[in-house]
A and B are shown apart, each in its own frame.
Chain A
Amino acid sequence: MRSYVLSRLLGLIPTLAIISVIIFAVIQLPEGDVVSSTLDRLAAQGIAPTEEYVQNLRAQYNLDKHMALQYLYWAGNFLTGDMGYSYVFERPVNDLVWERLGYTLSITVSALLFTWIVALPIGIYSAVRQYSIGDYVMTTIALVGLATPPFLLALIFMHLGFEWFGVSTGGLFSPEYEDAAWSWGRVVDMLAHLWLPMVIVGLGSAAFTMRILRANLLDELNKPYVVTARAKGVGPVKLVLKYPVRIAINPFISNIGLMLPALVSGEALVSLVMGLPTIGPLLLQSLLNQDMFLAGSLLMWLAILTVVGILLSDLLLAWVDPRIRFE
């Protein structure tokens, strides 16, 4: 097990390195850069900067150096915890990221938990009572849930929230807690707002997981050992839960790798619609304004979040399923 963990941890380094190169390439793609957009703004104010000023500015952002060197500066600074300065928000990127990363993380993780909590009982029920009315209802809901874009769900839920409760359901805090310091009341207030994005983000993956669990469990339930156990008089609940479910539940962990990127994507989209203070809206802002230091850092953090999440799920799977360790 230790060697497995070690090899996976070492494998993380090239993965993240490749990702950082990809992201650096992406943020370099747009025409123009920090300096040209700064100059544009100055020009809009009627200020004509001197040639020396421009040179200084380019040197300040390392733009006068070779592309590879620029990447190394960027990556090096990122590693040492300096993510640069956002000229749109006129604040260090570090502050902006730390402010919001926690919310992104809490919505994504709670959506993952929601996925499991919902998919487990429904998947078991659908498999055990195959072709019952409940099964048809649940599989239909799952099909629709898989096909509905998260932003559409968010709009519909916000509308329903408005209709039924007469409250605006956007945001992550009530107005009185918006800018307040952290307190018990603020945590409770956040949890009261968190459930809606959690449900919306998690619904698609819940549908996905439920379908897999149902299919796996159906395969398992027809196996001879289940028939034997039934013939020997094992009760219906124990019969299902003791072995078939334990085997069919494997994808709950192994599919985190598939689900997590989708959850992070969905979270970004839903946050944009619902106006949540997470990374998603910040990313859109930074992209629209070509604030590439900020955009690059945000993309990098989303990637790190996903990669580390997948690593954890792989380790968990190796711990649960010994076959993987010895591969």
Chain B
Amino acid sequence: MGYRIGIDVGGTFTDFVAVNTDQQMYSGKTPTIAADEAASVFGGLEQIAAHFGVSLQTLLAETDPIVLGTTVVTNTMLEFAGANIGLITTKGFRDVIELRRGYKESLFDIRLPPPHPIVERGKRLGVTERIDASGRIVTPLDEAEVYAALEHLRGVGVEAVAVCLLFSFVNPVHERRVRDIIHEVDPDLFVSLSSDVLPQVREFERVSTTVVNAYTSPKLRAYLEQLSARLEAQGFRGGLFLMQSNGGMMDIGFAREHGVDAVLSGPSGGVVAATFLGEQSGYKNIITADMGGTSYDVCLIKDSAPEVGVDNWISRYRVAVPLIDIHTIGAGGGSIAWLDDAGALRVGPRSAGAQPGPACYDRGGTEPTVTDADLVLGYLDAGSFLDGHMALDRHAAHRAIRQHIAEPMNISVEEAASGIFDIANNSMINAIRYVSVARGRDPRDFALLAFGGAGPVHAGTQVRDLGIRTILVPKNASVLSALGNLIANFKVSKVQSFIAKSDRVDLEELNGVLARLHQEAEVLLGDRSRIREVLVRRFLDIRYEGQVQEVIVPIQARTRRLSEVSLAQTLEEFHELHEQIYKFQRPEQSVEIVSVRLDMIGVRAPLHFESHPFEDEDAGHARKGRRPVYFEPHGFVDTDIYDGERVRPGNLITGPAIIEEANTSVVLYPNQEAMLDQFLTYVIQVAK
């Protein structure tokens, strides 16, 4: 017997999914043990072993691989608990990390403190050297200064050194020499070179990304090494992999040196699984919406490929490596509703989180939240929340909304709850518009895949505003990130600055860069034993001459080398994409290539999920009762409640209705109907 296991250690719960060679799947959750991710992983493994009736040692001996999602990097950045690091940079430029892009998040907030310095100025040291924009060495590296800088940094106990020199993306020779010197002086010091992490123009983006890598990697490395030792001690001989923010997985040898590539490890797993499940049910264009207690994450998937972004910030630091483009807003079930000083109803950004939580949790929270509104409106059932493991206090929810909102506004509690619900939805709808409309995509061409505890509660009304016609709710939505880990392929993302005017591209040189990136990616991909097929996707970052924002354009070539024709086709595609995103194109204007990108994907043996035969359409057997539920504009409507456990593939449920699943409620509006498909995903059709 053999097992494949995906585990996602989240902030509150650790989710896991295991599949054995008979394609039997088992998934579940266990509470995360604070500050000990390894223990949380073992908590999941023990439950898996118990389910399959084997010992932990037997399970581990027969498991290959384990793929992890982690919050180590995210938490390190949120808590500023990273390594003691130093920065070596070109003399005269140590303040680039402080000067940033020159931006302050809020013009009028005079009490907003500046960002926390993760590498203090005293540990940012300049060395004499200079390479110019063409890659020519203008001033040779002063090695004596490098040795002196190191002596100082070691004297103050740094554990890691980031190295970022100007124009190292054109010519990395000085950065590499600095690395060699560091290794010579202290082989144990962790070194992160900007020319490795992000060989691209823009010194702030590069230094910030490199510093985040140096700051987070030692912690990630310690965790992975400790976990891997503990797994091996228990007999594990398989491969251990980490989910990366680009939506692929990598072995821990790579991952432990690249903390910056794991900032969105967990959420990326969710998007990968959503992509897979959507495609399985016949939908290649999807917007995912993950609504949890404190945040709402959305991501757009086009043609079964999640959009990748390079514009991300984490804890006010720029992380410019390609990440699955997950747009997050601070709106969730815990978002607090309040009245401002002019008496207007507001929701968030303050959140009651899990502690004290919404008023209805009865854990000391007294302020009304979105979850309290959901309860008052009948979308949630006080008795069957979290599969009945947690009773909700309907009176507490009522009281909180009455005291804080309804009475001061002189409206009914139900009206107040409906207002909270609408305002929260509006913020979330704007988040969906942000990833679609604002980037030239029409949301009506997409299905909305809703997950997270509250996602399917709110999806039904969000789609009406956006004109979306299909909602997908996978039954195993609550372990989506772990499932994504199980499914994900290997993925290496490489980028290299390459600046050329489109009418004078040296094809030899361009093909040389592509070949080199290809070769480097192959090395990083490493062991091929788990890889069935290698896919390569190549892109050029292109802009109109003089513009600063680039469009990432897929290279239109099947051959390894680009030809005059395939280059011309790629450039033509640029104008089309530009028009799509920015509403105009200028085919007569010359364009320039800025960077070359290459994604190498190692496709793993696919998982086959069981396909269940359709049963009768009638879902009467799953109906478990009726209760009044609020539906705009009708008010409270006596509504059928279905037990998700008893709904069978092929069953059809017509709204208004609610399907209560173990970890969520699916709210069906009038003019919506849900059918559970053969892969256990609810496909909800929406009529206007």
A binds B: no
